[in-house]
Amino acid sequence: MEEIQELVALDVETTGLNPAEDRIIEIALIRIKKGNIAENFVTLLNPERSIPPEVSSIHGITDDDIRESPFFRDIATKVIDIINERTILVHNAAFDIPFVKKELNLCGIELSDIKIIDTLAIAREHFFFRKNSLSVIAAHYGIDISGVHRAEADAKITYSVYRKLLEDLQGKK
């Protein structure tokens, strides 16, 4: 597996686990070009509903935090501008991507033909970590996990994990 020269590390925090019912409340899109951050877009979002307390306890985002935040429709074109024709890097694409697609669909935008690198899929296929969560894999590699469960930190951690997984895969050749 070869390192992609330009990609977008993506992470979202949500009001719950079901993209059909829940909404994004924070998104991070970190465009990385040749190993350097070229663009860093992070924002809280108003989901137009309350955040359940049990969900707030995971990421720490409360209704007060998002009350004055933009709606996803206000940032949809920015999201498309950043990810357009770039590979998306994510940990657990089966979670994040359906949320992003749903939010874009609500804005009348279809996200199709996207290239995705999923560090969770790489870990499951090639490695034997005690658990395949982002924090466990990051800790295995000695990557700082402070700020975990916030979109910006998770997107940056995902990129660091990706680099380490690539190094290990190249070492296995």
Contact 122, 89 (CB under 8 A): no
| Beta-strand pair 24-33/116-118 | unpaired
Q: Which two tokens stand for residue 148?
A: 């975990």
Active site residue 149: yes
> Can you tell me the distance from the alpha carbon of 136 to that of 118, in angstroms, rounded to the nearest whole number?
16
Residue 25 burial (C-beta neighbours within 10 Å; 0-12, 13-18, 19+):
buried
- Name the catalytic one among 91, 126, 140, 149: 149
- Residues marked active site are found at 149
